[in-house]
Structure 1
Amino acid sequence: MKSTMSVSVALVFLELFAISSFCSGNSYVGCTDSEREALLKLKQDLKDPSNRLGSWVVDGDCCKWAEVVCSNLTGHVLQLSLRNPFRNDLRYATTEYEDYMRSMLSGNVNPSLVDLKHLTHLDLSGNDFQGIRIPKYLGSLKNLRYLNLSGAEFAGIIPHQLGNLSNLRCLDLSWSEYALQVHSFSWLSGLSLLEHLDLSQMNLNKASDWLLVINSLPSLKVLKLSDCEIHHFPPLPSGNYSSLNALDLSKIIFITLFFNTAAGFLVSVI
């Protein structure tokens, strides 16, 4: 009996010790094997002339790698920020622009990315994917809240699979030198939580439904359409625009503009 009680007391003590360690921040959970392998496959398909991903090594803890953020509780990868750390701005010194060019990732985006099932933040902006298409499988990352492909030099038509990202709050597809295209915005209607949408420098000539669909997004606060190709700006449909508070229509090419300003529609032109 005493032996049994001693074992029980020991187990309780160990449990309390584990809880105490967790609460005091001493508990650490490293990355999962499957997610580490997914990131290593992603690295293999990327060209990285400045060795930005040098910390991504076999048998390493991916939660300690550069550009990776994991959950402290589960070890799952939550954020992958592979944006170019230098700004593409010719007003800066030539040496900094050269650093920007050298820091570009290129190559391909490996489908292993879909194995990061808990990913909420993905940023590939400022890199040079040299005219490849936006991968359709990005639409499988159902937990994404933030997706930034700005200036990453993707080309072609925006895949409708992005409409599966129902948790998305911010979507930035702006400033591709290859002029991304949208033939229909029907996929966008599934993003009911979207707050920030940047489609600057996009070809919208064939997307006659763009204003109708954007009007249906109940949470949209910021809309950027700078330098877009829009050959017709239809009358604003009736609807509730109370959530929208910032609108950028600068440098739009050849538009006919007509607004039926709805009550409560406050627009700040950026």
Structure 2
Amino acid sequence: MRSATIAFCVAYLTIATFHNCFCNGKSNTICNETEKQALLKFKQHLKDHSNQLSSWAGEDCCQWAGVVCNNLIGHVHKICLRNLHPFRVDQTEAEYEAYLSHKLGGTINPSLLDLKYLRHLDLSCNDFEGIPIPSFIGSIGRLRYLNLSQAGFSGTIPHQLGNLTTMRYLGLGGTTTNFNVLQLHGDNLQWLSGLLSLQHLDMLRVDLSKALDWLQVINALPSLTELHMSSCELKYVSPSFNINFTSLAILDLSYNKFESSVGGFLV
């Protein structure tokens, strides 16, 4: 096995990002009318107190902030609405005010299913105030990048996300604004088994205390290079389990509650 780097980092912002959002919405194509209407329905169900999505008007949605269209096929393939002023425990009052004024909330409308070519969805560092992750996201079949980290979702991670078989980046890390509450939880991780192209998995602060299969599932992901499972309430690692993390380069298992030494299975 290639030596894995154990990254004992608490601050969420130290986690490497797969892409950089907020995306530039400029492109050379004209928006598809069906996709434009889908985006407008999506916007209607968002809470946007600072009117960040004011550009979401007019005929050409390919020019809207955070929307990127493919120049070849002319369809929406990225929505990048990451809050560029994320919450940090050490931030100043001015930084906290910037976070509050730039965060989006509300609900996620199923109109996103009409974006048949959507490959990239980033809603991270916003505040959806404890709503569940919508299970219909697992039906956006072309998604390769999904980042919902630090976005205020709660409840059980929907197993339908396992239908996104072309996924390369999956961010589900929990909210940092309350260290006493694990916002998301998973009773098992079998739904991850079909994500054979997955390279980056962030489950920071997701409660996995009941997911006794976590190591077996993770071990079977052949493309995984980066894994963040800090503060996940993990407890048990079988000393006899045969680990094959051949592709893993970055591993963070800090701040868990292992009942035995973790180091043995990393050798």
When the two structures are superposed, what TM-score results if normalisation uses the length of structure 2? Answer: 0.84
- Does the Cα contact within 8 Å between 1:230 and 1:255 map onto a contact in 2? no
1:127 maps onto 2:126 in alignment? yes
Q: How many Å separate the matches in 1 of 2:51 and 2:80? A: 15
RMSD (Å), alpha carbons: 1.8
Moved more, 226-235 or 162-171: 226-235
1:104 Cα deviation from its structure 2 partner: 1.0
Contact 1:125 1:148 in 2 (8 A): yes
Cα distance in 1, alignment partners of residues 262 and 73 from structure 2: 51
Q: Which has the higher contact order (CA 8 A, sep 6+)?
A: 2
Q: Which residue among 193, 201, 208 is the counterpart of 2:205? A: 201
> Contact 1:236–1:260 at 8 Å: present in 2 too?
no
Cα displacement string for residues 125-159 of structure 1 (whole angstroms, at most 9, x for unaligned residues):
01111111000010011111111001111111110
Identity %: 50
Q: 2:187 aligns with which of 178, 183, 187?
A: 183
Matched, 1:49 2:53: no
Offset at residue 102 of structure 1 (A): 1.4
**Does the CA-based 8 Å contact 2:243-2:265 persist in structure 1?**
no
Post-superposition Cα deviations, 1:95-136, rounded to whole Å, max 9, x if no partner, equal 121011111111100000111111111001011111110000
One-letter amino acid of the structure 2 residue matched with residue 220 of structure 1: L
CA distance in 1, matches of 2:122, 2:105: 14
Partner of 1:218: 222
Larger relative helix fraction: 1
1:258, CA displacement in angstroms? 3.9
Question: Superposed, which structure 2 residues align to 1:1-270 within 5 Å?
Answer: 28-57=28-57, 59-176=58-175, 177=178, 178-235=182-239, 237-261=241-265
Distance between the aligned counterparts of 1:236 and 1:225, measured in 2? 21
Amino acid at match of 1:208: L
Change (3 A) 1:255 1:131: farther
Q: Which amino acid aligns with 2:190?
A: S
How far apart are residue 74 of structure 1 and its match?
1.8
Structure 1 CA distance for aligned equivalents of residues 205 and 131 of structure 2: 17
Q: Looking at CA atoms only, which structure, 1 or 2, has the larger radius of gyration?
A: 1
Hey, what's the Cα distance between the residues in 2 that align with 1:78 and 1:235?
44
1: CA distance, partners of 2:216 / 2:140: 26
One-letter identity of the residue aligned with 2:141: K
Cα deviation for residue 260 of structure 1 reads: 4.5
Is contact 2:70–2:76 with CA below 8 Å preserved after alignment?
Answer: yes
Residues 150 and 175 of structure 1 are in contact (CA less than 8 Å); yes or no, is this contact kept in structure 2?
Answer: yes
